[in-house]
Amino acid sequence: MKRPGYVITATLTTLTLLLCLCSVRGDFCEVNVCLNGGTCVTGIGEDPFICICDDGFAGDTCNLTETGPCSPNPCKNDGSCDIITPTRRGDVFNEYVCKCQPGFEGAHCQINVNDCANQPCKNGGKCRDLDGDYTCQCPSPYVGKQCQLRCTSLLGMEGGSIVESQISASSVHYGIMGLQRWGPDLARLNNQGIVNAWTSAAHDRNPWIEIDMQKKMRLTGIITQGASRMGTSEYIKAFKVASSFDGNLYITHRADGQRRDKVFIGNADNDSTKTNLFDPPIVAQYIRIIPVVCRRACTLRMELVGCELNVHSNTVGCSEPLGMKSRLISDGQLTASSSYRTWGIDTFTWHPQFARLDKQGKTNAWSPAHNNRSEWIQVDLEKTSRLTGIITQGAKDFGVVQFVSMFKVAYSNDGEFWSTVKEEKTDSDKLFQGNIDNNTHKKNLFEPPFYARYVRVVPWEWHERITLRVELLGCDD
Ligand SMILES: *[C@@H]1O[C@H](CO)[C@@H](O)[C@H](O)[C@H]1NC(C)=O
Ligand SMILES: *[C@@H]1O[C@H](CO)[C@@H](O)[C@H](O)[C@H]1NC(C)=O
Ligand SMILES: *[C@@H]1O[C@H](CO)[C@@H](O)[C@H](O)[C@H]1NC(C)=O
Ligand SMILES: *[C@@H]1O[C@H](CO)[C@@H](O)[C@H](O)[C@H]1NC(C)=O
């Protein structure tokens, strides 16, 4: 038998899977000649069958033990093994060194460094250890990488920096034969006078009041207050909050991990203020208060609490890796149009969950089932983020160098309506230059940056097969 030009190994799961396949086919693999847990497959190239050897074995029938200190790879956690001239370290001769991925250490990269160990999160933030990084989940109104900043500016309803033209409402109540106008521009905290608040029209079944911040802001809370009209208290007892980037698509606020709209408890009399925090904070340009239960009428005075975006990093500084490599972006957040399976074998599926920058292993990238321009890989960032760039990388499939040399980027806020990143001058879809080999990082910047929850990479040109490892750059805002 001709010796295959490459060494193939497989895991035990493949073995079990394929044994059944082979015996059903009744072919050269009917009697498994592959030793040491090797898997027999047929129909590949000119050989009647080949053996996919388990880790640590090689040769036509997997009867050879892989040799060399780096084979099989003694380094754990995607560490790479380098053979070196034998050197003495203490009493031990070393023939190899493990180069560990960030966040791992030890001679064999076996120790996952706990990046939360020295408690980097301030103000009650919850720390989560990532590969080579950590993330803090900050309780409102704290923000920043370490929850070190308070996002609690009063945004200008009471102070007046939010002007009349920025405030609108579904309807307005006119009192005393139409002479009193309880307009939205009156909905300012502690507003005084006889007519001193916004009230929706009595017939309005779906009332709302909206503030246009004129740019994207981070909102961490709202202070509400009722009013009294003709000697009676009127106020909003319960309300929801919706927000929008563009004034078209609105998303109703939900608490972290909740599937139902958050209902905020509002006021209980005509004059006291009630403060509610948004947890997580809302990033938006338009914010809409939607009364759910009103006492007598939906009457409101209010203030918004929040801060400018990017308080913790200037605009140039917004280029942190968003978590493909560190796994802050979890497997569940990654999807794709399809996935390729080398030789149709499940164990060698090039899942979108493998598309993490610098991932190691035999199948260590995403690759789609077909090679055409309909394929895509998608990241759901789970909250609207500011995206400033992307790093792409190819990979090898059993020795074959594969990469994407040209791609487009699309983004969406709801996962349904997509925009493609455009050339600034010509308004045609922007084609990003991709990779030229199996390993080099290629970085592209988004100029200008964009805000999105969902990002898609659409391969446009490729070498051999569409194959991608990716990191997204940006910041939380
Ligand atoms: C492995 O098997 C081949 C034939 O399949 C044989 O020629 C070779 O000597 C064997 N090697 C060892 C180390 O057993
Ligand atoms: C409204 O609030 C003020 C101050 O708390 C209180 O003195 C007044 O009685 C209230 N008016 C009504 C109608 O409840
Ligand atoms: C890509 O390939 C799939 C499967 O063959 C096919 O359904 C799809 O129409 C193709 N798209 C393009 C743009 O060729
Ligand atoms: C793939 O990338 C590695 C690491 O950069 C490099 O050493 C190797 O030569 C590349 N393989 C091929 C076939 O180009």
pLDDT in tens, 251-299: 999 988 888 999 999 999 999 999 999 988 998 999 999 999 999 999 9
| CB 367 within 8 Å of CB 465 | yes
* Residue 37 scores a pLDDT above 70: yes
Residue 66: nearest ligand to its CA?
1
Regarding the beta carbon of 36 and ligand 1, being less than 6 Å apart is answered no
Q: Residue 24: which pLDDT band, with cuts at 50, 70 and 90?
A: very low
- Which ligand places an atom closest to the C-alpha of 226? 2
Tell me the mean pLDDT in the region 327-355: 91
Dihedral (CA of 18, 20, 26, 32) sign: positive
Task: In whole angstroms, give the CA distance from residue 32 to residue 262.
Answer: 60
Strand order in the sheet with 49-54: 9-10, 49-54, 39-42
Say yes or no: CB of residue 372 within 6 Å of ligand 3.
yes
Q: What percent of the chain has pLDDT over 70?
A: 88
Mean pLDDT throughout 406-421?
A: 95
Nearest to 243 by CA among 203, 186, 281: 281
Give the residue whose CA is nearest to atom 13 of ligand 4.
401
Q: How far is CA 180 from CA 157, 198, 269, in A?
A: 21, 11, 22
Q: Beta partners for 403?
A: 463
Q: What are phi and psi of 359, to 5 degrees?
A: -60, 140
C-alpha to C-alpha distance for 296 and 85, rounded to whole angstroms: 85
Beta carbons within 10 angstroms of residue 26's beta carbon: 8
Given the CA of residue 61, which atom of ligand 1 is nearest to it? 5
Query: Which pLDDT band holds residue 36 (cuts at 50, 70, 90)?
Result: confident
Ligand 3 neighbourhood includes 128 CB (under 6 angstroms): no
Q: How many whole angstroms separate alpha carbon 132 and alpha carbon 115?
A: 7
Tell me which residue of 44, 70, 71 sits closest to 55, measured CA to CA: 71
Ligand 4 close to Cβ of residue 419 (< 6 A): no
**Mean pLDDT, rounded, for 374-402:** 92
- Reading the block at residue 307, the tokens are 């801060």
Predicted local confidence at residue 92, as pLDDT: 57
- CB atoms under 10 Å from CB of 91, counted, come to 5
Residue 395 neighbours by CB distance under 10 Å: 27
Q: In whole angstroms, what is the distance from residue 279 CA to residue 219 CA?
A: 10
More confident: 379 or 283: 379
End-to-end Cα distance, the chain = 60
Residue with tokens 């005075």: 301
pLDDT over threshold 60, residue 13: no
11, pLDDT greater than 80:
no
Cβ(405)–Cβ(461) under 8 Å?
Answer: yes
Tell me the ligand closest to 270's alpha carbon.
2
Minimum-distance ligand 4 atom for the alpha carbon of 401: 13
Q: Measuring from atom 3 of ligand 3, which residue has the nearest CA?
A: 370
Q: Are 454 and 381 in contact (CB under 8 A)?
A: yes
Q: Would you say residue 90 has pLDDT above 70? A: no
Give distance in angstroms: CA of 63 to centre of ligand 1.
6
Tokens 């910047």 belong to residue: 445
The predicted-structure confidence for 175-200, as pLDDT tens digits, reads as follows 888 889 999 999 999 999 999 999 99
Kindly report the average pLDDT of the chain as a whole number. 87
- Separation of CA 396 and ligand 4 centre (Å): 9
- Report, as an integer, the average pLDDT of 301-318: 72
> How many C-beta neighbours within 10 Å does residue 19 have?
15
Q: Which atom of ligand 1 is nearest to the CA of 1?
A: 5
Ligand 3 mutation target, pool 370, 376, 460, most atoms within 8 A of CB: 370
Residue 46 has pLDDT above 70, yes or no: no
For residues 166 and 88, the model is more confident at 166
Of 271 and 2, which is predicted with more confidence? 271
Please, what sign has the CA dihedral across residues 89, 91, 95, 98?
Answer: negative
pLDDT tier at 43 (50, 70, 90 boundaries)? low
- For residue 103, the model assigns a pLDDT of 84
The residue whose CA is least distant from atom 9 of ligand 1 is 63
Give residue 345's identity as a one-letter amino acid code. Answer: I
Q: Rounded to an integer, what distance in angstroms lies between the CA atom of residue 96 and that of residue 70?
A: 7
**pLDDT value, residue 10:** 39
Nearest protein CA to atom 9 of ligand 4, as residue = 438
Q: What is the pLDDT of residue 8?
A: 39
**In 172-324, beta strands by DSSP E:** 173-175, 180-182, 198-199, 209-225, 227-229, 232-244, 250-252, 264-265, 274-295, 299-308, 320-321
Indicate whether residue 273 lines ligand 2 (CB < 6 A): no
pLDDT at 449 over 50: yes
Q: Tell me, using a 6 A CB cutoff, whether residue 25 lines ligand 3.
A: no
Give 17 Cα–ligand 2 centroid separation in angstroms.
Answer: 76
Binding site membership of 439 for ligand 4 (Cβ less than 6 Å)? yes
Indicate the pLDDT class of residue 89, thresholds 50, 70 and 90.
low
Alpha-carbon distance of 81 to 48, in angstroms, equals 34
Question: Percentage of the chain surpassing pLDDT 90?
Answer: 56
Q: What angle do CA 302, 304, 307 make, to 5 degrees?
A: 165
What is d(CA 24, CA 303) in angstroms, rounded to the nearest whole number? 71
33 CB within 6 A, ligand 1: no
Atom of ligand 1 nearest to the CA of 33: 5
Q: 440 pLDDT band (50/70/90 cuts)?
A: very high
Residue whose CA lies nearest to ligand 1 atom number 13: 64
For the stretch 104-152, pLDDT in tens is 899 899 888 899 998 999 999 999 998 888 999 999 999 888 998 889 9
| pLDDT at 50 (0 to 100) | 79
21 CA to middle of ligand 1, Å?
Answer: 26
Residue 399 CA, closest ligand 4 atom number: 13
Mean pLDDT of 402-419: 95
- The ligand minimizing its distance to the Cα of 62 is 1
Q: What is the mean pLDDT of residues 306-315?
A: 63
Q: Tell me the average pLDDT across 13-41.
A: 61
Q: Which residue out of 438, 440, 442 has the highest number of ligand 4 atoms within 8 Å of its CB and is therefore the one to mutate?
A: 438
Q: What is the pLDDT of residue 64?
A: 77
pTM: 0.66
